């Protein structure tokens, strides 16, 4: 992986800067650790940067298909949110109706954070509205 700060978003002396976010899909629920090794990092002037990398725990969760659906939901934007509820690769009114009709089921059976589009920790009508705005 190569990373460049082309827009000077990282200020000199900044700490705890996320250089990358990873999304992964798995078939078996589990936890594991990812440890990244930095081989080279330079400043804008070419001077080496000393880095400290913290290992991160990764949790794989199993997504279930919504009732009556053959495929589990998908994350078409790769943003960690599962907008495509029927797993067909598109966000349509079908997904909106599935969300509305299965809000309680989603809250009880899926990891809430993956379907909590407004980030308030709940499956609610504001999430439904945000999904509607994606259609």
Per-residue pLDDT of the chain (135 residues; tens, 9 = 90+): 667 777 777 887 787 777 766 666 666 777 777 777 777 878 778 888 777 777 777 777 778 999 999 999 999 998 889 999 999 999 999 999 999 999 999 999 999 999 999 999 999 999 999 999 999
Q: Do 125 and 99 form a contact (C-beta atoms < 8 A)?
A: no
Written in H, E and C, the secondary structure of 73-101 is: CECCCCCCCCCECCCCCCCCHHHHHHHHH
Residue 27's pLDDT is 65
Residue 63's pLDDT is 87
Radius of gyration of the chain (CA): 19
Pairing relationship of beta strands 30-34 and 56-60 according to DSSP bridges: antiparallel
Residue 22's pLDDT is 66
CA distance 125 to 10: 37
CA distance 111 to 117: 12
């Amino acid at each position: 992986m190569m990373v460049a700060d082309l827009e000077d978003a990282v200020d000199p002396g900044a700490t705890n800067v996320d250089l990358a976010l990873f999304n992964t899909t798995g078939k078996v629920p589990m936890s594991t650790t990812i440890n990244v090794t930095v081989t080279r990092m330079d400043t804008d002037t070419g001077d080496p940067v000393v880095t400290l990398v913290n290992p991160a725990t990764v949790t794989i969760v199993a997504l279930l298909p919504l009732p009556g659906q053959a495929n589990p939901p998908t994350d078409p934007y790769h943003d960690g949110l599962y907008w495509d509820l029927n797993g067909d690769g598109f966000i349509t009114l079908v997904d909106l109706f599935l969300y509305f009709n299965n809000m309680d089921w989603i809250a009880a059976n899926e990891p809430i954070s993956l379907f909590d589009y407004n980030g308030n920790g709940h499956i609610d009508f504001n999430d439904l509205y945000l999904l509607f705005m994606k259609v």
